Amino acid sequence: MKDEHSFEEIRRDIEARQRATVWPDTLRNGATIDAFLWKGDPNAKHVQRIGLVVFAFFFLLIGIFLASIPFQKNFEDGSNIVFIVALPLLLLSVRLCRNAFLRPPKHRGNNEPTS
């Protein structure tokens, strides 16, 4: 009787640890990450913000590298196409950094007049 009870506890513990690795939970977690990337979250934790800045920094480096190629070639040999490819990467990095630095809205106190 005691062994069955401990087996059930072990089974519940294993299921709880694997909860984020099964299909519906990964889909839900992916949706929250996508919302955080594109819309931002004013209440995000510092670790999430730092991770988003590192992710944006990756796109920024690639965008700067691609944008510098046409300047090195003096915009010859069709290198302005590379510049056009670099622009979305630079804009994406700016958007991600903006979402990383969103702050929670300040709540007005009861003593402040509303206008």
Q: Is residue 113 part of a domain?
A: no
Give the count of domains, the chain.
Answer: 2
Q: Are 34 and 46 in a shared domain?
A: no
Q: Residue 73's domain spans which residues?
A: 42-104
Contact 96, 59 (CB under 8 A): yes
Q: Which pLDDT tens digit goes with each residue over 38-70?
A: 888 888 888 989 999 999 999 999 999 999 999
* Residue 101: both structure tokens together: 């630095």
Q: Are 48 and 97 in a shared domain?
A: yes
CB burial readout 44-55, b (16+ within 10 A) else e: beeeebeebbeb
The model's pTM: 0.67
Q: Is residue 115 part of a domain?
A: no
Which parts of the chain have pLDDT scores under 70? Answer: 1-5, 20, 22, 108-115
Confidence at residue 66, expressed as pLDDT on a 0 to 100 scale: 93
